[in-house]
Amino acid sequence: MNIYDIAELAGVSIATVSRVVNDSPMVSEKTKQRVRKVMEENDYTPNVFARGLGLNSMKTVGLMCPDIADAYMARAVAYLEQNLKEHGYNCILYCSGYDIEERHVAVHSILQKRIDALVLIGSSYAEDDENSEKVEYIREAAKQVPVFMMNGCIQGENIYCALCNDFQAAYMAVTELLQSGREEVLFLSDSHSYSATQKLRGYKQALKDAGLSVKDSMCVYVENKIDKARDLLLSRNDLMFDAVFATEDGLAVGALKYAKKRNLSVPRDISIIGYNNSELSVCCDPELSTVDSRGDRLCKIIIDSMMLRLKNREIRSKVYANGFLIRRETTDF
């Protein structure tokens, strides 16, 4: 007898059963009585919901991201929190920063909070190499609770990854730039994370497949701030490019500001593609062509997987979603 059976017998949704168990005021007294009666008759105890000892579950999920002020992460946290709540789970938030030692401390701390599962948001947790020893602390964490990674990938027991296929998305975007006649595409990034590494691979492969050589000097790194990206490009007179593929929308907007300062017309003189389809991409002028990196989709995959995993069902350790290019005004194809 599990929650599905109870829901069916009581003629309500699983979410409603969950709410009754949590004595949520969102459920009417009448419904509560009906659901509780079914539970009693079938000797169903809510303890079964929880991981391990039952008694010990606080129905809490740990959400960890480097920086909640980042729009991509904020949106992910918003989606996860909203939907986990509907499954009866509250969220502990921990912002770890990007520093590796801080992240160690963060994971250690959040595990002391009796969480049922841990979500690591953003690819920086996977480092630049999924097999790196630097991620051993995450494998250790996964011995205590299931770990779900959003857009990062680490192989290991009890670690489940939902990923945007950044290699494919970057490959497509850069290929389109080249096919539209651009010859010198700048790769502009803020990170060497797992995701950024996949994007770089896609960029390089697209150049190779177009018969062009890859120049390391055309891969430029700068903090993800509009003014920082603009100023860096303004200072680099040695760089010659007629297109920018940026791994974040903020960087792409920086490139747009650079173009304006240089009196370059976009997309006539220079094409620009951003990443993440954030609010920034429709705020700037001209509006930014950008890759939709499927953040909401990844969150949904994580929640669905988590709910199965917490019922001890088998789930896949790695699921991909495909990103796609949204064409706006900074490209001419």
Residues that bind a copy of itself (CB under 8 A): 22-26, 36, 39-40, 45-46, 53, 55-56, 58, 60, 63, 67-69, 71, 74-75, 77-78, 81-82, 85, 90-95, 101, 104-105, 108-110, 113-114, 226-227, 250, 253, 256-257, 260, 279-280, 282-285
Of 111 and 214, nearer to a copy of itself (C-beta) is 111
Cα 332 from chain centre: 29
> Smallest gap, in angstroms, from Cβ of residue 88 to a copy of itself?
10
Judge contact between 64 and 106, C-beta under 8 A: yes
Please state, in angstroms and as integers, the Cα–Cα distance from residue 217 to each residue in 178, 187, 224, following that order: 18, 9, 19
**Which parts of the chain fold into alpha helices (H)?**
3-10, 14-21, 29-41, 71-86, 100-111, 136-141, 166-179, 194-209, 226-235, 249-261, 280-283, 295-309
Peptide bond into 146 cis (omega under 30): no
Q: Are 276 and 267 in contact (CB under 8 A)?
A: no
DSSP state of 25: T
Residue 95 beta carbon to a copy of itself: minimum distance, rounded to whole angstroms: 5
Select 34 or 75, whichever has its Cβ closest to a copy of itself.
Answer: 75
Q: How far is the CB of 217 from a copy of itself (least distance, A)?
A: 28
Cβ-proximal residues to 278 (8 Å cutoff; 6+ apart), any chain: 71, 72, 249, 250, 290
CB of 24 to a copy of itself, least distance (A): 7
CA distance 324 to 328: 13
Q: In angstroms, what is the minimal distance from the CB of 161 to a copy of itself?
A: 23
Q: Which is nearer to a copy of itself, 124 or 175 (CB)?
A: 124
Contact 190, 247 (CB under 8 A): yes
Rounded Cα distance between 149 and 105, Å, is 18
Our CB check for a copy of itself shows the closer of 175 and 247 to be: 247
Question: CB of residue 197 vs a copy of itself: minimum separation in angstroms?
Answer: 26
Kindly write down the DSSP assignment for every residue of 95-110, as one continuous string. Answer: E--S-HHHHHHHHHHH
Count other Cβ atoms within 10 Å, centred on residue 11.
11
Shorter beta-carbon distance to a copy of itself: residue 110 or 154: 110
The distance of closest approach from Cβ of residue 65 to a copy of itself in the complex, given in angstroms and rounded to an integer, is 10
112 CB-near residues (< 8 Å, 6+ apart): none
Cβ closest to a copy of itself, residue 25 vs residue 211? 25
Closest distance to a copy of itself from the beta carbon of 19 (Å) = 10
Residue closer to a copy of itself (CB basis): 23 or 238 = 23
Q: For residues 91 and 214, which CB has a smaller minimum distance to a copy of itself in the complex? A: 91
Q: How far apart are CA 102 and CA 13, in angstroms?
A: 41
